[in-house]
Amino acid sequence: MATLHFNLDDSVASLKRAIQVVEPEVATETLELIDLKACRYLGPLAATYIASVWLSARSKPQVMLPTEPPALAAFCRFSGLAQLIARGEAPDPSNAKSETIPISTTSDAWNAYVPIGKLVHRHVGILDADFEESLRLCVHEVFQNISDHSKSGIGGKFCARYMNQKRHVRVAIADRGLGIQATLHTRYPEITDAQTALRRVIAGNYSAQSHTRNLGQGLSNLARTVENCGGQLVIFTQDACARLDRRRNWSFEGLGAKIVGTIVYFELPVDEAPDSPNN
């Protein structure tokens, strides 16, 4: 039984703790229950992670979702977690008050951005063109990477939330595929650990060339775009993660457990267009 009695607040530390509890049971196929009842906060990173674990499990674990506070129960509904894994109410993504995109998937990288764009647009109004282009590019690069390399049985799952008070958008995209190091290892046998693999793909010009035309720029473009926007980025893969903070510092660390596949999480500060009525 995986009991997560702490808040999963989109921080590296909280997801790392969750991974350490959940993944050993995934690896031994003993995961029967994920107990989130004691959580008092869940963010899109947590929702995406829990959903991807649940969807990829051969034998579906029971998931106990928190029922209070009301805002968290609402998040469970609007994120789609309640419907997906607890047979709860369906989310209503068109609800004007919803700050969350329900957990979704897409095989269509050109249009993966659309629901996220609609969410931000609904809360902010007219978006600054450069911001919109950056957000779109980040989403497209991640989905194309999943499609090209991951071999994930569940494709890519994503969830996003617009944080009204902080005026930023949070996006989490998870696959349950091979992971970056395992993919790169097919072409670069010398890359034997996930931290080195992360450093390589972030610097760019390293590719497993799952398709002959791959040149290893996707995650590097993602990193540069988030950096230019003054955002935050975390990439979890296998037993490591790389984190870019708002001050543009990179850090790399071990997770203390090995996840299946890769999770990309980023936050971008939202810019409105100069002529937006909100400005």
Residues that bind other proteins (CB under 8 A): 108-111, 113, 129-130, 132-137, 139-141, 144, 147-148, 187, 204-207, 209, 211, 213-218, 220-221, 224-225, 228
Place of tokens 């919803």: 98
Identify which of residues 92 and 130 has a Cβ nearer to other proteins in the complex. 130
Q: Minimal distance in Å, beta carbon 229 to other proteins?
A: 10
Assigned token pair, 19: 């991974």
DSSP class per residue in 1-49:
-EE--S-B-S-HHHHHHHHHHHHHHHHTT---EEE-TT-S-B-HHHHHH
Assigned token pair, 246: 């708002």
Identify which of residues 7 and 207 has a Cβ nearer to other proteins in the complex. 207
Identify which of residues 109 and 235 has a Cβ nearer to other proteins in the complex. 109
Strands (E), 193-275: 232-237, 240-244, 250-254, 262-269
Alpha-carbon radius of gyration of the chain: 18
Identify which of residues 24 and 269 has a Cβ nearer to other proteins in the complex. 269
Identify which of residues 56 and 207 has a Cβ nearer to other proteins in the complex. 207
Q: Minimal distance in Å, beta carbon 264 to other proteins?
A: 14
Identify which of residues 36 and 268 has a Cβ nearer to other proteins in the complex. 268
Q: Minimal distance in Å, beta carbon 7 to other proteins?
A: 33
Q: Minimal distance in Å, beta carbon 20 to other proteins?
A: 33
Q: Minimal distance in Å, beta carbon 211 to other proteins?
A: 6
Pairing state between β 240-244 and 250-254: antiparallel
Residue 170 in contact with residue 10, Cβ under 8 Å?
Answer: yes
Q: Minimal distance in Å, beta carbon 109 to other proteins?
A: 5
- 188: exposed, middle or buried (Cβ count in 10 Å: 0-12, 13-18, 19+): middle
Cα(206)–Cα(152) distance, rounded to whole angstroms?
A: 20
Identify which of residues 47 and 112 has a Cβ nearer to other proteins in the complex. 112
Q: Minimal distance in Å, beta carbon 258 to other proteins?
A: 26
- First-to-last alpha carbon distance for the chain, in angstroms, is 50
What pairs with residue 243 in β-bridges? 234, 251
Cα(219)–Cα(216) distance, rounded to whole angstroms?
A: 8
